A and B are shown apart, each in its own frame.
Chain A
Amino acid sequence: AQSVSQHNHHVILSEAASLELGCNYSYGGTVNLFWYVQYPGQHLQLLLKYFSGDPLVKGIKGFEAEFIKSKFSFNLRKPSVQWSDTAEYFCAVNGGGSYIPTFGRGTSLIVHP
């Protein structure tokens, strides 16, 4: 069974600080990787995804993530956060052709203006 671990449950940053949220998964086969974001009062939406090709993927709002297969990791990064990035971030993984992703427990990010 696949599992997803997000190391940081709560992160507090000031505007313009750099962000890196960790995500590790356990699954030995081919995987599809996702980061979803849930802004306060809004629905979960896709931030970025990786399924093949360049392991460095870029998403919306200046976010990017790097797939490192040898480390089973898919960390989310942003060089300079904004107050509007305050949200909950979920890493998700699915593999083996399954249409059902496994989600991490989420990381709550608060950005102070």
Chain B
Amino acid sequence: KAGVTQTPRYLIKTRGQQVTLSCSPISGHRSVSWYQQTPGQGLQFLFEYFSETQRNKGNFPGRFSGRQFSNSRSEMNVSTLELGDSALYLCASSPTGTGIPGELFFGEGSRLTVL
């Protein structure tokens, strides 16, 4: 079974630009969550999508947005990039309804550098 796939793996942007990251969950997983990982802050929850609906949202500004498609693939977008947005963005999928709540399967992440 293929794992969670995230693209792109690495990207460099400049302040003020916007970026879109993509995530393909494990087949059959309908829940997709996004996290921002930075040294010292650990994993900060961004949002979770289930069946194309945002079900949970973390404490991030409106510049951070996401969506989920009918095939469960998800994208997240960050507009008007700031230097502090440099981080590893992790996507995780979950077998909602059949698995243990909170058990997540992570992708390798998209490392964003903002210059």
Contacts and interface: CB of A to CB of B under 8 A. Distances in A.
Contacts of A17: none
Of listed B56, B101, B109, residue having the most chain A CB within 10 A:
B101
| Range for the number of chain B residues in contact with chain A | 20 to 34
Given A99-B48, A99-B94, A100-B33, A106 B42 contact: yes
Given A99-B94, A100-B45, A43 B102 contact: no
A51 B100 contact: yes
Nearest to A106: B42
Nearest to B92: A44
Contacts of A44: 90, 92, 104, 106
B41 interface: yes
Nearest to B55: A99
Contacts of B66: none
A38 to B, nearest CB: 8
Interface residues of A, number: 24
A100 B103 contact: no
Contacts of B40: 105
Given A32-B101, A98-B101, A105 B42 contact: yes
A49 B99 CA distance: 12
A12 B50 CA distance: 40
Given A44-B90, A90-B42, A105-B40, A98 B106 contact: no
A97 B100 CA distance: 10
B39 to A, nearest CB: 9
Interface of A: 32, 34, 36, 42-46, 49, 51, 90, 92-94, 97-106
Given A43-B4, A44-B92, A46-B104, 11 more contacts: A32-B102, A36-B104, A36-B106, A43-B90, A43-B106, A49-B103, A99-B48, A99-B50, A99-B101, A99-B102, A105-B42
9 contacts: A44-B92, A46-B104, A90-B43, A94-B101, A94-B102, A98-B102, A100-B56, A101-B102, A105-B41
10 closest pairs, A vs B, by CB?
A94-B102, A105-B42, A101-B102, A44-B106, A103-B43, A43-B108, A32-B102, A106-B42, A99-B101, A43-B106
